[in-house]
Each structure stands twice: as structure tokens, then as C-alpha cells.
Structure 1
């Protein structure tokens, strides 16, 4: 199903690549204001292309890009390839070092209706337009979105393992504590095998819905302006990092909910009383025990109201049938759907997913201690501690054709910007080597 293509990656020149940590940046939607200011002070950091500033931000990005290309700050690889990208990381409290294995390539920018690339969340039009404008002006992609394919045989990993033994470069430690390693595969037979494996797969978009939709919007605009185009021009494609959904090193971390206010000036006692018809509410002594107390239990949450008031909250099974949102059973079964429907709608009166997305009274926080601290400091009235969404749940929701509540997944670690750049100018398809991959290769296995 999914058509992928190799690309001639743009990368920082060999001298700068020796200090690649100084030039990579977090994704535009996760970088904090403080991080941005520190990164902007480096005139060669990739953030100037991914999150440009100025009254004409996209124009500033294009100007800087051309300066970097002409000065040799960025250089393009001579041959197209598929780029192995490994991320080594640890999770708090665990001695294990994980390694998420994947590869970066071009993938055709499929419309959602084509049922090849599947989404699991909705997007904000303003953010999509921002990404589309930047792409239209620069025709350059500074960070890969994250897609998932499932291969229980792990066929491609052996080629990736072989390539990663000769890395192009690696970070010492990126902003989130991960070590990122890049390598390239330029063997035509192996690249064809990657294409054949992905041609039999759908792809679930894990991260980067706004950037992907920006690519889709740009492709649609170019197609409308050039109806006789071949369909293989560079602007038909999008830079994506693909990882195997069957791998144990694919981690999804929970995103907790902070209630910044309680409507109707509810007291803590009144709030707890409103929860009682829907939830079993059990007081607990130590709020720091809440994640362990709810771990692995469906429809269970930790609740913290400050001053040591901690509760384990679990939906009464018999009331689940009241969940009346017009969505699929797969979405209704999610913990976060239960939380948003029974707490935000039934208890607090914020009716419907659209109203909840716009309600300023909820914040999404990944750091558990931060949740408790913000309630204790009076910055929030309550914290709901959640379990992580499982990969199985993500797949079932995507294949049901529905989307999850906002901020349901946090795939960890995030890919980084500036590790590999991709041009989607129409001329990018002119390289003779690329012609080898524009028609389906015969079925077979790379040697």
C-alpha cells in the first residue's frame, strides 16, 4: 500500500557534523519558549528553518536556507538512500537501555481517504496552514514525522543493524536525553526490499499530524496547478521516520490532565460528590503512589486535590453504557475517552469533544511530579493521573477510522530536527539512480 522512495539527504557539512548536538533542535510543537531562545542564539541551528521568526517567517527561512546551501553549511548526498535512524534512551526508574530502530525515507503524501496513512488525532487548521506555508516557500523539510508499520517478522531490522555499524554521525545526548545515530543504505537491492515490504503495509501516523497535513495540502495545490505532472515529482512526497509497531522499544508515555479551574466554583467536597455516581473514589495516603495504584487497570485514574488529598478513581463498569459520543467502540473503550466524557462533560458540564478542545480550563502535562506541584502551588485545582495508551489501542482506533481524544499519545523519544533534511523540489527526481525505484520492483529478497 505505502509507496516509499529513497532521497538525497541534505546534511550539515562534515566539520559541523562532528558537533551535531549544537545544530539539532526539538520539534516545533514540543520546543519550549526557553529552549527556543537558547537555540536561536546559534545562527546555524536548525530551528531557524523549522520554527523561523520574523514578520515573514517563511521568507526568512528560505533566505537562510539559500545562504546555508551556497556557503556549504548544508550539503546534499551524492546518491539517494534510505537513512537508518536509531535512538538509544532510558526511562525513569529503569536500568534498561532501549533502542528504537527505524529509517527515514520519502513517502507519498496520501490523502486520509486513501486509507494508506492513518491518523489517530485531529489537527488545528492554523497550525496546518503554518506548516503548509513554510513548505510552499522553502520546499524543504527539516524534521521527519513519525510513522508506524507492522512487521512481526522484523525483516528490515537486519539491514538497519548492518548499516548502523557505520554511522554518519551521532549525538552525544539530545534535549530529551536520547542518543541519536544516523546511517545510510544506498544498496539498490536492499532499498527495493524496503519498498516491497512497505508496499504491503498501511502506516499509522504516530507524530507530526500537522506537518503531514501541510505536505498533503502542498501536494494538492501543486497537482491542481500541474494536472499533467508525472506524479513522481519531489513535491508528491513527505519525509517520514518509520518504525516497526511490533517492536518492544516503541514506547508511549502517559499525558496527565490538569484541571486549572473547576466550573461553578466547586469546592473539593462538591467535586468529589459529583464524581460519586460514576466512579468508585478511594482515598489514598501518598499521592506519589498513584501511578502504581492505577497501573494496568482499565478506566482507573489517580486524582490529586492538593494538601495531600489523593484518591484512586475508577469508573463503575455499569455506567460505561452511558457514554453517548458518536464514535467507535474502540474509542469508547479508551481510558481518556472515559475521563473526558464522565469528568469533563458529565461532572463539569463541558459538553462534547469540540468544546473540550477549546476549553482553557484543562492542561496536558507529561511530568507526574509537576502535576502534584502545580496543584500544591495553586496553579491548578486538580490533577488526573492517567495510564499510557498501548500500541494495540492505537492500532485498533486507527483501523476503526476514528480519532482519539486530544493529547492521547506521547511517543517517546521524539525525533529531532536538523538530523537529516529533505528537499521536495521537482528537480529532486532528476537523479538517474532514482529512476530505478519509480516502478514496482519484482518480488524478491535483497542479498
Structure 2
């Protein structure tokens, strides 16, 4: 498996309920959905995930302006130290049974051959996401990967309350909490070592990350860098 490490995340200061601030991935947001999400909050993530032009400012520059503005105003805050973020999704399946999925957000190395995509990507969507990444210098939404490593759940369980909770439009409850203990972070990293990662969602974002890495290496040398 590519290396999986902690990083300084950028997260909403408001909480714990951030239901009015979340948005689904860009590729399922049509114009009607975008306007509905924007109406929920002036700080809804869709304003950066699916940015719009403002006057003579193009959509990607608009996203960067919002990102900088929200950060300076304290709407968003950066972690004081590198962390992981544990995320639990609670939902009801088609048979009416309660289910949950637990995962972890971190910085995943772009290692050739270690991530296993299974979908085709389109140039138009990749260009869109690459322009957003170039301009914002921020990954505004994650890749969802699957690693066949049993036992990870035990390493992520939290004794405290979630620091962020949101219910999406499908009724799925998302709970997140920060993993800052260095021993716990090291245990998660060690547990995931040696396992391949299957890209379940975010194929365009993965291809864009690879393209951005090559751009930065060409500009600054062979790395390593934050883009690796």
C-alpha cells in the first residue's frame, strides 16, 4: 500500500452539526441542486466544490477567493498539528436494518501501481478538477478508497463525542472525530501498510492528483513534496 500519513486538515470551525454546510461530490450536483445547497448557508461547501463566475473573476479564482476569505474570517480553521480524521456513516439498508461504515481520512502517497482504479475517466472532468486544484492548492473533496485490512475499526473507535456531525439528503448520518494521538496515528499507518487500495469513488480526483504531482515535479524537481 502507498504510505498513509497524517496531515494538517482544513475544517469548519462551526459545529458539531454542520448539516447545512456539506455538499455531495461535484459530479452529482446539477444546477437545481447547487442552488438549493447554496440557499442553506453562505458557507456551504458547494460554493467551492462547484464554483461560479463572479463578474470578471473566473470560477476557479472565485473558489480560491472564497477559500481565502473563509479562512481569514475563521469559518475554516487549519489543524494545529498533523492529524487523521475518523469518519463513521450510519444508515438504513434496503431491508430496514441499521448499518454503519467506519473509515479514516489521511494523506495518501501517490504511488504508481499501488492504487487500483476501475473506472474510465473523461478529459473534461479531469481538466475541471485540475484547474480547481491548481488554483486553490487544496483538495476540497477526498478520494474514497477500500483497503482489505480487517481490524482497522478497533483502532479508530473514539471514547469522546464526534467533533462534526451531519445528515445528508439521503438520510445518512456522518460523524467525524480527530485522531491526534501519535501512537494511534502510527498504529493506523502500520496497520494499513502493505495493503493495496481500490479506488471506490474519486477516479477523476485521483488522476488529477497524479497530473498535479507531475506538474509540480517538473517545476520544482523530483520531490518529494507535499504533492507526492
Specify if TM > 0.5: yes
Counterpart of 2:190 (choices 193, 196, 206) is: 196
State the partner residue of 1:158.
Answer: 154
- Cα deviation for residue 165 of structure 1 reads 4.0
2:27 aligns to what SS in structure 1? coil
**Matches of 1:228 and 1:122, distance apart in 2:** 28
Q: Does the 8 Å contact 2:4/2:189 carry over to 1? A: yes
Q: Does the 8 Å contact 2:70/2:76 carry over to 1? A: yes
Query: Can you give the 5+ residue segments of structure 1 that lack an aligned partner in the other structure?
Result: 237-447
State the partner residue of 1:98.
Answer: 99
State the partner residue of 1:7.
Answer: 7
Q: Does the 8 Å contact 2:4/2:192 carry over to 1? A: yes
Number of positions where the alignment pairs a residue of Structure 1 with one of Structure 2: 224
Query: Does structure 1 residue 24 correspond to structure 2 residue 3?
Result: no
**Matches of 1:178 and 1:22, distance apart in 2:** 14
- Cα deviation for residue 17 of structure 1 reads 1.9
State the partner residue of 2:58.
Answer: 56
State the partner residue of 2:122.
Answer: 124
- Cα deviation for residue 51 of structure 1 reads 0.8
**Matches of 2:159 and 2:33, distance apart in 1:** 30
State the partner residue of 2:68.
Answer: 66
**Matches of 1:44 and 1:187, distance apart in 2:** 30
- Cα deviation for residue 32 of structure 1 reads 3.3
Which has more radius of gyration?
1
CA RMSD of aligned residues (A): 1.5
- Cα deviation for residue 126 of structure 1 reads 1.0
Q: Does the 8 Å contact 2:12/2:76 carry over to 1? A: yes
> Higher relative CO (CA 8 A, sep ≥ 6), structure 1 or 2?
2
**Matches of 1:168 and 1:40, distance apart in 2:** 23
**Matches of 2:193 and 2:30, distance apart in 1:** 37
**Matches of 1:201 and 1:212, distance apart in 2:** 18
State the partner residue of 1:87.
Answer: 89
**Matches of 1:100 and 1:65, distance apart in 2:** 30
**Matches of 2:172 and 2:148, distance apart in 1:** 24
TM-score normalised to structure 1 length? 0.48
Counterpart of 2:163 (choices 157, 160, 168) is: 168
Query: Can you give the 5+ residue segments of structure 2 that lack an aligned partner in the other structure?
Result: none
